[in-house]
Structure 1
Amino acid sequence: MARGRPAATIKHVAADAGVSLQTVSRVINKEPNVRPEMMARVQASIAKLGYVPSIAAQRMGGSRSYLIVAFNDRDRTIADWRERQGRDWVDQMLLGGMLTCAKHGYRMVIELVDTHGDHIEREMLAAIGALRPDGVILTPPHSQNPVISALLDEHGISFARVGTLQAGPGFALSMDDERAARLATEHLLSLGHRRIGFIAGPAEFELSGARTEGWQSSMTAAGLSTEGLLGQGDFGYDSGLREAARMIDGGRRPTAIIASNDQMAIATLAVARERGLRVPDDVSVISFDDTPVVRFADPPLAAIVQPIAETIARAVELIIAEKAGRAAPEGSVVVPSRLVLRRSTTPPGGD
């Protein structure tokens, strides 16, 4: 049986192009000190031989690992995977992060770390020591943890903090949660709703407070009271059941409810159905996140679309640009969310 052609190596490329291994490495690493004609010659040899750069070859030009690590909350991520309730945060992270990394010759991996643990520094240092990443992406609530930020800053690692506007080291990226909540609230106000409930997420997440503030400010600007209309959830389905029931059974039943994530919005639908209320005729509902579950609900839910993939992609680009010595943007980077309307909102009835 004939054997396949051996895979091309960096040595083959150097020989074909008539240059040194270091020159090939500088081209692979996209370093600025390569003459255009030399770069073109090496790239032509790479294309001709079908050479695929390896991490080992890329490291020849320096100490880079060409890895970016995203740290996600361990307990919440594992619980989401086990419950199989349709959350797609990790999927969207991979979509934005892996594709953007690949364009620049990088790889992305995800590590799970318990942000509340007593050994957070040890866990972080163990992961950093094993992987030697060029950059780190912190997702909520890690992105708000000053211990983690200080640790990465101390070790000179480029990193991005997603879901926060807090000042501090690294790049801060936000999906503009306050504005997103205003979009949802103002849409309902434009339909004529005056009793708009809001089920907030856990207080440990900065974005929960931003969303609550957006709803509150829109209600206040419209001259409306929010008494009895704010619920405190935890992003879980059961907390959505509890808070939706409390609002609907209360003295000022809302004609519309905004839930801070899809699980709590689906729970709101269930409570309304149990009470014999029709959505949207008796109560309009808007969700946050726009995971697949809300699109297949009955009725399909209007939702704030969180640009997770776009935000992680931007975080990757910022880290890679910083490693290349390019100027970083000042202040936080905002990747705006948007409201998608479906069949779950309508003007209120005449009650």
Structure 2
Amino acid sequence: MKALVKDRAEPGLRLMDVPEPAVGPGDVLIKVERTGICGTDLHIRAWDGWARRTISTPLVLGHEFVGVVVRTGPDVQDITPGDRVSGEGHLVCGKCRNCQAGRRHLCRATVGLGVGRDGAFAEYVVLPAANVWVHRVPVDLDVAAIFDPFGNAVHTALSFPLVGEDVLITGAGPIGLMAAAVARHAGARNVVITDISEERLELARKIGVSLALNVGTSTIADGQRQLGLREGFDIGLEMSGRPEAMRDMIANMTHGGRIAMLGLPAEEFAVDWSRIVTSMITVKGIYGREMFETWYAMSVLLEGGLDLAPVITGRYGYRDHEAAFEDAASGRGGKIILDWTD
């Protein structure tokens, strides 16, 4: 089968012929239809410091996908050939305290699809049945391909009640944009999103945010004044991993404000802990999705009319992966989709 492979410890990817993955007793073999390109995939392609520390070659990349089940192992129940599915990309041990307590998203032994084991940038992928999400209602294939990052957005956005709240989102990348759409849909009063890319801020305006603020030319305090906010933001969703974004968010929260932080910083940085303490601000780290509560929430949001179409800005055949990755790495658009059906 064809697959996009990090075959050498150097920048770049290769489209190669590799063996079809083996199917174990509890596994599901999936014919991949579409995949989404993630920031993790960009790091691996660039072979940056994180990738050099984390990745063992050769490796088939990819963890955002939708496909059709073609075969199941003998121990698999309730999943049948022909089912359209996406996959939870965090494979957990099932034995640790958190797993046994039903908190699988907190497993310390998590292995990432397309990071710690071969992934979905291929014609076929194998997953344990426990990681397979069957789409029981019709869903657009492009949207189904990005259920993984959509789940990150939903997990982050729904960490705290949103109804009637003023929400600040720092970082208008694809997950920040999806979080903005979720916040609007879930009843936030104002949703403000910040970035320095006018292209991405324009996508946010199409989603319907209250204010898309270019922090290269304006401050978050300017945005507060523009909207008539007098006490700061109730909820903060930090999506950029940028030190200045987190500091500005803390400085513009109301007393008792709550921050969910998904953005992963490249290195340690200082924040105003005195402000966090004296303003009684809650900061919660977010990683991945709750299995599978977040997935239920995603499906229900889509059934309820949530529109993610503006977030998807590029579609390429898998043979055009170089152009697709360049588009994804440009920092100007939203989610980029690879089609594996041609």
Q: TM-score, normalised by structure 2?
A: 0.35
Kindly name which structure, 1 or 2, has the bigger radius of gyration based on alpha carbons.
Answer: 1
Structure with higher strand content = 2
Q: TM-score, normalised by structure 1?
A: 0.34
